[in-house]
Amino acid sequence: MISPKLVRSCCSVLLLSLAGCVTPAGGVSLRPDGTPGPEACPEEARKAMNYLRMFVGEATLVQVDANQSASPITLYDGPIESMLEDNLGLLDAPSRLYGRVWTSGSQAVIRYYEAQPMNGGNKIPVCAVARLGLGQLRKRPDSQPGTAVLDHTHAGVFIVDSFR
């Protein structure tokens, strides 16, 4: 018979060894610095983007957080709602983009997984990222853990075929 103490010890070692493999909701693996690792763009999203003429490299500006319009803005780890400032393919502004923010690195990382047209209809699967561009996503030094304080309310958003 195995002692309960041995079982607890083995479980503790197993949990500690898995700590680097923890994935947040949505199944994205994290790098050692807490930023998201590679992630494939689902086939459903690729088909929807093709239909909407949203090709890899297409870009426009977004209001990073549709709920904050004055600088500076504070982003938190977790879900985000952004707003298109201009059309993206056949998706008209001011459609919304829904995604996730990671704040662990020197800049915020934002990945978008869904778009909501403002003229009605269902959410559309997409694969898009907000990019640093002219420093829009660089965190201010006064950012607390789990947050990213940004000087800019806008950023470029780009269609991608996978997340890197």
In this structure, is residue 114 part of a structural domain? yes
The alpha-carbon radius of gyration of the chain (Å, integer) is 19
Q: How many independent structural domains does the chain possess?
A: 1
Q: Does 29 score more than 80 pLDDT?
A: yes
In this structure, is residue 21 part of a structural domain? no
- The pTM (predicted TM-score) of the whole model is 0.82
In this structure, is residue 63 part of a structural domain? yes
Q: What is the CATH number of the domain that holds 33?
A: 2.40.128
**Mean pLDDT across the chain:** 85
Q: How many CA atoms lie within 13 A of 111 on its CB side?
A: 19
In this structure, is residue 7 part of a structural domain? no
In this structure, is residue 17 part of a structural domain? no
In this structure, is residue 93 part of a structural domain? yes
In this structure, is residue 153 part of a structural domain? yes
In this structure, is residue 22 part of a structural domain? no
| pLDDT classification of 120: cutoffs 50, 70, 90 | confident
pLDDT digits (tens, 9 = 90+) for 56-79: 999 999 999 999 989 999 999 999
Q: Which domain holds residue 45?
A: 28-163
